[in-house]
Amino acid sequence: MKNIKRYFYLFLILLTMMSYVLINYTRVTSLIISIYLIFLIWNSYKGNKKNLLLLSVALILGVTNIIIRNYILYVLFDFLLVVIIFYDYIVSNKDKINIIKIFLMLLLVIFLINSISPNLFCKSFRVKFRINEVDRLEESVSKIEDNITVRSNIMYDKEYPNSYLDVYLKDSSYPTLIYVHGGGFVGGDKNGEELLNERNLFTFFNYFFDNDYNIISINYPLAPEYKYPIAIKQVNKAIKYLVKNGKEFGINMDNVVLGGSSAGSQLVGQFVNITTNEDYRVSMGMEQAIDPSSIKAVVLNAPLLDPLRLTKTSDPLIDYVFSLMGRAYFDVGFLSETEDVNEANVINHVNNHFPPVFISDGNFGSFGDQAEDLHEKLDKLGVENEYNTYSIGDAVLTHEFNYLNTKYAVDNNTKMMNFVNRYVNR
């Protein structure tokens, strides 16, 4: 009987973890757990009534959350589940406490903390990748190779930290790529230090260098300290600053390609909507930073375009991580149809003035369905665009695969350059 009870609670631990990971499906997870709680209540009533009250309260919270889907109720529900598991599986269980039990409880506590607030995770993510939001960085000049001068840490705004950009100059007559990094709105850096595994920002940049572009890479304030819409407002300020001061740096702001990846693609797409859609710009209370005719083409890699689908990448673990980032950026318990989340939807606000755009994404753990939806809408609007992806039957290509040095990344990035080179002035 004791072994059976142990398995009861091990299963409850798994269900509780599932409710954390699938945070945007709380009605479904609450329903499954509530059904299981009924079974546990029946078992407690038949055998031991000690935990009957706690289980009953948890069941009431679970059923209520199914009906009204409330974030506070969801947190209380999962908190109570952790209390029940701790008391009945750890404290009351006469077996020796072992490493597995300690590990499971620590895991539950970590999930519970993230459920209450994603901020600790997001700050830890930033620390891991050495991303610092300091108030002042020293501007410097250096060279990479013999023909590229780098001006680093140019401050484009004093209101918020992390408002810096780097300029990579080959020749003042060349077109300009303005790049906005990804990182889930909580991490990332203009020099690419945040990229995982073998991903390398300069593998991507080199395609533009080899095709005679100057490059500007922009930083912006990060969540959870700086929430929506501060990042997009700072991107707008950065480009306004470049339009005003571009000649000082030897860059051509009349012949521009805008590019971004992941969350950076969302910021780029939203910026282009602000620039080309007057009604949208007025509704956001923002100024037009650049003449739309100066934007010759746009590159959107692994693009987050619909924040409501931030947690629908086909990989549950990635969905969980992305949900924490999205909640931190939009300052919400659940990613739902709030005014801010809807406003940040790139697809909903594009119009026929959008510049030519190259879109690409992997086929697993990313936002391919969003890229496809943007491609279809642009086709209907008559906007020049190309969407490139690859069959999962050929290779599993994950989020931001284009930063790798694989044959698929080379093929994708070659197509990208062929596309943008058709539209820039030479």
Q: How far is CA 247 from CA 46, 71, 169, 172, in A?
A: 81, 50, 12, 8
The pair of three-digit structure tokens given for residue 322, joined into one six-digit string:
């992305």
Please tell me what DSSP assigns to residue 318: H
CATH architecture classification, 142-421: 3-Layer(aba) Sandwich (3.40)
Domain residue ranges of the chain, discontinuous segments joined by + = 2-117, 142-421
Residues 266 and 228: beta-carbon distance below 8 Å: no
Are 275 and 281 a contacting pair, CB within 8 Å?
yes
Determine the Cα–Cα distance for residues 400 and 243; give it in Å rounded to an integer: 29
**CA dist., res. 226 & res. 209, Å (int):** 33
Rounded to two decimals, what is the model's pTM?
A: 0.88
Please give the pLDDT value at position 14: 73
pLDDT at 9: 66
What pLDDT, on a 0 to 100 scale, did the predictor assign at position 198? Answer: 55
Q: According to the model, what pLDDT value does residue 4 have?
A: 55
Pairing of the two strands 148-155 and 176-180: unpaired
Can you give the pLDDT at residue 155? 96
pLDDT of residue 93: 57
* Predicted local confidence at residue 423, as pLDDT: 98
Q: Which residues contact 304 (CB under 8 A, 6 or more apart)?
A: 262, 263, 265, 266, 310, 367, 370
Residue type, 408: Y
The CA distance from 373 to 178, in Å, is 24
185 token code pair: 């709105």
Taking the chain (426 residues) in consecutive chunks of 10 residues, what is each chunk's mean pLDDT?
59 73 73 81 63 80 82 80 72 60 76 85 67 68 90 95 95 97 91 64 92 97 95 98 96 97 97 98 97 98 96 86 94 87 98 98 95 98 98 93 93 98 94
